[in-house]
Amino acid sequence: MDTLSLADLTILLVEPSNMQRNIIRTRLHEAGIDNFLMAENCEQALELAIKTAPDLVVSSMYFSDGTATDLVQQLRANDLSRDVAFMLISSEACHHTLDAIKQAGVIAILPKPFEFTHLLAALQATISYIEPDNEVLDNLDFSDKTVLVVDDSQTARRHISKVLENIGLTKLILAENGQEALSLMVNNQVDLVITDYNMPIMDGAALIEALRQHPTFCEIPALMVTSENNCAKLDGVRQSGVSALVDKPFDIDAVKQVLTRLFD
């Protein structure tokens, strides 16, 4: 089978401004992409995504009928569009606003104006998401590895699960918070824990501390995938014994490198 290239991608561009659509389309064309669909709002975008199954949705943040967060959640709620890759291009800088869309599972968030190199990196991440190159993992056998994915967001759990399945980790257990994760670990052998930071009942930091203090679970690798940007909180997580930290939205190749280090 031929390797997927940027030229093979079909992009659904969702942008209410005609001028901004032309600017973004021009930059995508410079990257080698010529297959486009256009939408100006959430309703049009959702209809096109369900009908045509694009490889990537490139979206602005605000529309007349909602936001990019609304759109990505609607996409994830429909069986025909739930796994489509999603990229946000926006000048929005509010952490709380951006965190909501990060939790939905996106490929990249680019600022306006964006660097062309960052656009290329995001497009390559899309290729890795659709058709992962697992050469770096060829020497590793994941067939007997069980991963516990802990995140209070259903869409985030689904996105992380899809990425893991694409690279060969198919034995997955899902939990919504740290307390549920610990309960599941009592009756299930787990080889890796992948957890979010911010969760109700028991957050990721408390979960990792509990793992490290538990006589049975203390040696299990724990990877935190988080949108948290508070340096003091993240330093605390590092000191608690986390095996690796990966940002949301996470780089699939970075996850592969972490897995190679943890399981090699």
pLDDT at 231: 72
Mean pLDDT for the stretch of residues 65-83: 93
pLDDT band at 123 (very low <50, low <70, confident <90, very high): very high
Of residues 92 and 228, the one with the higher pLDDT is 92
pLDDT at 94: 86
pLDDT band at 97 (very low <50, low <70, confident <90, very high): confident
pLDDT at 191: 94
Residue 256 tokens, joined: 């592969």
SS3 content of the chain, % helix, strand, coil (to 5): 45, 20, 35
CA-to-CA distance for 64 and 74, rounded, in angstroms?
Answer: 16
Query: Quick check: 110 and 118 in contact, CB under 8 A?
Result: yes
Q: What is the mean pLDDT of the chain?
A: 89
Checking if the pLDDT of 1 tops 60, the result is no
Mean pLDDT for the stretch of residues 8-23: 96
pLDDT at 12: 98
Residue 32 tokens, joined: 């080698």
pLDDT at 141: 73
Q: Beta-carbon neighbour count of residue 185 at 10 Å?
A: 21
CA-to-CA distance for 245 and 56, rounded, in angstroms?
Answer: 26
Q: Which residues lie below 8 Å from residue 111, measured CB to CB, with a gap of 6+?
A: 89, 90, 91
Of residues 2 and 169, the one with the higher pLDDT is 169
- With a pLDDT cut of 90, the percent of the chain lying above it is 57
Is pTM beyond 0.85? Reply is no
- With a pLDDT cut of 70, the percent of the chain lying above it is 95
Of residues 175 and 164, the one with the higher pLDDT is 175
The DSSP element (H or E) to which 178 belongs, if any, is helix 178-187
Of residues 140 and 150, the one with the higher pLDDT is 150
Mean pLDDT for the stretch of residues 57-71: 96
Give pLDDT tens digits for 173-201: 999 999 999 999 999 999 999 999 889 99
pLDDT at 136: 53
Residue 193 tokens, joined: 């824990």
